[in-house]
Amino acid sequence: MLWGSGVADARNCPEGAFENFPPGEATAVGFDPAVLADAIGDLRRSDRDIRSLLVVKDCKLVVELYRVGLGRDFAHSMYSVAKSFVVTLAGILVREGKLSLDAPLTMALDRPVGIADATWARAGHVRVRHVFGMLSGYEYVHTPTSHPLYTAMDRRQIALLPGTEPAPGTRFNYSDADAVLAAATVAKAAGRDLLAFARDALFKPLGFREVEWWYRDHAGLYHAGGGLRVRPMDAAKLGQLYLQRGLWDGHEIIAPSFVEEVWRAGPNPNYGLFWWRTSSDNGFFARGWKGQRVFVFPEFELVIATTAHMDDDNSSDLHSAVRKIVSALREKRSGVVTEGSQALRRELAQPFDGNIPGPVPLPEDRPGKL
């Protein structure tokens, strides 16, 4: 089990719709303010383009920081964090009895035009859970900037073409082709496209705003590996939903058992179903290129969301700062609390510096408002 007994109610936000998390004082929810201030300072000193940092504890927003010129109403490209949203949509359909993780792809997908009989027969050996766990066995090489998958008229055709070696379910291979197939199973089970279904089944109940989903192919399918743009505030709500075991405003969005299944490790001990597992503190996170993250730490009733524009090779600075944020709930420094609180107030009063070089920007890297 991922949670102890009798603690779920303490984690849940109060019932009633809300657009933004209510503010809270760090010390009131158990943070050492000096350690938390140090963690924020580390991100400033890391020389990375951090665009947002939100820390939610006990459903209270204790840190909300943005880059110069940005604010809470700007949507950001979340890259592969979209995968964690898509598996959540799958969970809604599983709860409704419209999708089975054990169904073969040949039952869960519409057959793409032009797919050879042998290729389609091979898809019959791949289960829905395999594509959500990056375990399809398809020999896909992850090259996001050049792979024909991203420009195909019907991405399913490209995703189904490679051979399946070894057998499905036995080897982890990070693959946007698996994400394409996963998104297609959700769209078929929902009977409409991902964005339309997500708006009604997830975004509206959780009070999302400023949502976009880019890069629909000519077959009408959105790409689960990226293209989703949301506010950091709303990205944090995804983490809070999982912290609350699928409950929101008194309603079950996804079943607690599905949350358990999503976070259970597969052949890769660091990966479940479109969610990663942290190396410490028994946490889980949705991970997107260039520093997009949603961390959930059930033991600490904690959610941390970030957006950024950095090389993935430099993401260790981000993860180190997150570990320090968690440690601010576990460690209490000796000394005067007032001094730590003053240091934290100084950090919270300063936006992140926006004049930091990063990777070559793509059109979706520009935050924006609808």
> SS3 string of the chain?
CCCCCCCHHHHCCCCCCCCCCCECCCHHHCCCHHHHHHHHHHHHHCCCEEEEEEEEECCEEEEEEEECCCCCCCEEECCCHHHHHHHHHHHHHHHCCCCCCCCEHHHHCCCCCCCCHHHHHHHCCCEHHHHHCCCCCECCCCCCCCCHHHHCCCHHHHHCCCCECCCCCCCCCCCHHHHHHHHHHHHHHHCCCHHHHHHHHHHCCCCCCCCEECCCCCCCCCCCCCCEEECHHHHHHHHHHHHCCCEECCEECCCHHHHHHHHCCCCCCCECCCCEECCCCCCEEEEEHHHEEEEEEHHHCEEEEEEEECCHHHHHHHHHHHHHHHHHHHCCCCCCHHHHHHHHHHHHCCCECCCCCCCCCCHHHCCECC
pLDDT at 10 over 60: no
In this prediction, residue 24 carries a pLDDT of 96
What is the CATH number that goes with domain 8-84+194-365? 3.40.710.10
pLDDT (average), residues 181-203: 97
Has this prediction a pTM greater than 0.85?
yes
Low-confidence winner among 42-51, 105-114, 184-193, 322-331 (lowest mean pLDDT):
42-51
At 274, is the pLDDT very low, low, confident or very high (cuts 50, 70, 90)? very high
Tens-place pLDDT, residues 147-179? 899 889 999 999 998 877 779 999 999 999 999
Q: Is the dihedral angle over the CA atoms 110, 115, 117, 119 positive or is it negative? A: negative
Tens-place pLDDT, residues 59-91? 999 999 999 999 999 999 999 999 999 999 999
pLDDT (average), residues 227-255: 97
Q: What average pLDDT is seen over the chain?
A: 92
Tens-place pLDDT, residues 102-146? 999 999 999 999 999 999 999 999 999 999 999 999 988 888 778
In this prediction, residue 3 carries a pLDDT of 52
* Domain boundaries, given as residue ranges, for the chain: 8-84+194-365, 99-190
In this prediction, residue 2 carries a pLDDT of 58
Tens-place pLDDT, residues 316-360? 889 999 999 999 998 766 565 788 999 999 999 999 997 677 787
In this prediction, residue 9 carries a pLDDT of 52
In this prediction, residue 8 carries a pLDDT of 44
In this prediction, residue 114 carries a pLDDT of 92
Range 99-190 classified under CATH 1.10.357: no
In this prediction, residue 86 carries a pLDDT of 98
